[in-house]
Structure 1
Amino acid sequence: MLNQHTIDVIKSTVPVLEVHGTAITTTFYQRMFAAHPELLNIFNHANQKQGRQQAALANAVYAAAKHIDQLENILPVVKQIAHKHRSLGIKPEHYPIVGEHLLAAIAEVLGDAATDEILQAWTDAYGVIADAFIGVEAGMYEEARTQKGGWEGFRSFRVERKVRESEMITSFYLVPADGGVLASFQPGQYISVKIFIPGEAYTHLRQYSLSDSPDRPYYRISVKREDARGERPAGKVSTYLHEQVQEGDVLELSAPAGEFVLDEQDTRPVVFISGGVGLTPMVSMFNTLAKRSPERPAVFLHAAQNSQYHAMREAVEQLVSGKEHSLAQWVYTSPTEEDRAAASYHKEGYMDLEWLRSVVPNRDAVFYFCGPVPFMRTINQALHEWGVPEKDIHFEFFGPAAALN
């Protein structure tokens, strides 16, 4: 436990972290990777280059400082991050390394303002926070290892099928290479894929949502090919999966993880809202719902550029046709002439509150959404403006968490 003086000192640094947080975390990653380049086998290089990981860590450090006297307030965030850590293989021995370079980064960025008192307070606070993560993650490692069909670390899976779903998205059907039992998962969860790309100095880890229901004899991931755009280079892993990985090849997978899951105990209507490849966890949830709770009302709303970029549309429409009290609606930003002629979409443009209220029967429902960050900000704002309670709003980031407000 932290004493009151340490808590007061940590809280006094909150305004400083709000201003200098990203500079501190950027320096932290630079120092840590310089001293421990082997950790580049774990961290997402693309998120580092785009600054997303630095911003996410800065937000997490800021939140920890702000709530240092009531860390239970950030427990949901701790669990979310811990799931990612377990999926990536972060272990207790990594925490002293992080602590050393985080404290050094604080001292470097703040200079004389980082007094001995402040650095000691943050040393003590980091110890408490690290212990909390280690404890939570220990339970997650145990659960992943001991469940039926479970495993620790990475397990070899064979690509049984490779299916092109749209112009940009391809699905990979994965089965255990050893022929063993397949661990179950909660609809909405993800796995980490470890990729060894020829010519690359380090391995690459990427997390992909499982896009089918848990009762299948395979795991399915549906991967968007990230092409170069503006100054952003093409995604190395997604391009490799699309262009190089073929049926019969073997991939290394971690056990399923994640907090963004369908609450199957709730019997109220459920609304799934997705943009682009953000539909993958929604399809898993909807498939599960249709099989286990066919009487539960459901609305599936999806935004895409047009039908050429709309993955798994026919599968969702088939589920809707066979399920009472369900509805699917599509929003296309740039429908093709064929889309217009076939009336294959329901709205042109973007989702907004007025449209949501016109297609969702009422706000007494549970809402799940996922997609590009700007899309998620729009949906989050619309749901709050509509008066949907915070407890009924659930979302998932593909990548480091960002602010939706």
Structure 2
Amino acid sequence: MLSDKSRPVIEATLPLVGSRIGAITPKFYARLFAAHPELLDGVFSRSNQRSGNQQQALAGSIATFAAHLVNNPDSLPEAVLSRIAHRHASLGITEPQYQVVYEHLFAAIAEDLADVITTEIAEAWTEVYWLMADALIKIEKDLYSIQANSKMWSPWRVAAKAPAGTGAMTFTLEPADDTPITPALPGQYVSVKVKLPEGLHQVRQYSLSGDAGTSRTFTTKLDDGGEVSPVLHHSVEVGDVLQISNPYGEITLREGEGPIVLASAGIGCTPTASILRSLAESGSGRRVLVLHAESTLDSWALRGQMTDDVERLEGAELKLWLEEPRAGSFEGFMSLREVDLPADASLYLCGPLPFMKNIRNEAINAGIPATRIHYEVFGPDIWLAS
């Protein structure tokens, strides 16, 4: 844990470093990619770099971790670390890369805070960094060790490609070699690596939207301004081979008998659809409340799958919000105030960040403890920094 020597230094300098970390991280990434341009080929997302989301996510995670150490010196923020570690493992991050990050991050800190930084401050923040790095390295090693294989990437052939609502596509994959397959848990995701027209590789995480276990089906929304989804939608065909990671993600269906609320918006329905499918396949007797928000009924990517699975479950109920309402739906944006939430429910949440923030706040106000609210973020987790 944070040493007695470093704690007062971090406590005193956290407001300053916290206020500057948003300026420090762009300098860090500039240094990192200048020294290691290969990291932009199949590890870091160019889109997230351009948007600033990756910088914001890193800044948020560092500030959150340091603040936790100050306020809780004998523990670590396990939820934050777990989410980051799963994302790192899905990208194949290894222990030596943490030393590379340290070198360039602290060079950026020294540059930005040159007028105030001292040896004592540098040593204290070095301790914070390595406490976080060592915790992540341990979790990531554990995640790698439970996989059925030691490969970062395995070849999977596209067995089917089908439209899924307006602007979305579902890809069903089959193994292209004999690599042992790690069974996926409902709600997990895989990384998909594609080769762009200029030859560079880019990676995106996609929630598995169909059956869990050893099958691999994911659904992706077309982002015309993106780099990966246009390749998947327009260039990848049945019979092509994609490079896929093992499954990761800690937002999975928890065991138990209590009621479940699955709340999603747009393409955020993919992990909740996987959880719903697993409940239907097992013939679960749990009460399940499925909440989904969409612009139009035709835009709902997994409409058929989710409505069929709700009908298969005796204790399941579906409520729908549409900006262009149909009979039986609510109009506009989802609100839990329009729903009779089951007592002792666990909430699984996925969708755009403003949607998740609003629904999480409403759920807490309705009496659902934060510990029973589980959310999945697509891309860098900028929730930490907001």
Shorter-chain TM range is over 0.9
- List structure 1 segments (4+ residues) > 3 angstroms apart after TM superposition: 179-182
How far off is 1:105 after superposition? 1.1
How far off is 1:198 after superposition? 2.2
Q: Which residue of 2 aligns with 1:383?
A: 363
Q: Which residue of 2 aligns with 1:142?
A: 145
- Give the AA of the match of 1:350: F
1:280 to 258, 270, 273: 270
Deviations along 1:170-205, whole A, 9 cap, x unmatched? 0000111015553211101100011111214x3101
Counterpart mapping for 1:127-276 below 5 A:
127-144=130-147, 147=148, 150-179=149-178, 181-200=180-199, 202-215=200-213, 218-227=215-224, 234-263=225-254, 265-276=255-266
Number of aligned positions between the proteins: 382
1:64 touches 1:71 (CA, 8 Å); kept in 2? no
Deviations along 1:61-119, whole A, 9 cap, x unmatched? 11121123536331221111111111101111101110011111111112211122211
Deviations along 1:349-405, whole A, 9 cap, x unmatched? 011232133xx3x24211111001111111111111112111111111001113387
Moved more, 187-196 or 16-25: 16-25
- Give the AA of the match of 1:245: V
Mapped pair 1:355 → 2:353: no
Q: Which residue of 1 aligns with 2:315?
A: 325
SS in structure 1 at match of 2:286:
coil
2:84 to 68, 81, 85: 81
- Give the AA of the match of 2:290: F
2:296 touches 2:322 (CA, 8 Å); kept in 1? yes
**Percentage identity across aligned positions?**
39
How far apart, CA to CA, are the structure 2 residues paired with 1:312 and 1:71? 44
1:13 touches 1:65 (CA, 8 Å); kept in 2? no
SS in structure 2 at match of 1:112:
coil
2:277 touches 2:309 (CA, 8 Å); kept in 1? yes
TM-score (norm 2): 0.95
How far apart, CA to CA, are the structure 2 residues paired with 1:327 and 1:125? 47
Q: Which residue of 2 aligns with 1:315?
A: 305
RMSD between aligned residues: 1.7
Please list every run of 5 or more consecutive structure 2 residues that lacks an aligned counterpart in the other structure. none
Please list every run of 5 or more consecutive structure 1 residues that lacks an aligned counterpart in the other structure. 228-233
- Give the AA of the match of 1:207: Q
Which is bigger in relative contact order (C-alpha 8 A, separation at least 6)?
2
1:270 touches 1:299 (CA, 8 Å); kept in 2? yes
How far apart, CA to CA, are the structure 1 residues paired with 2:75 and 2:189? 25
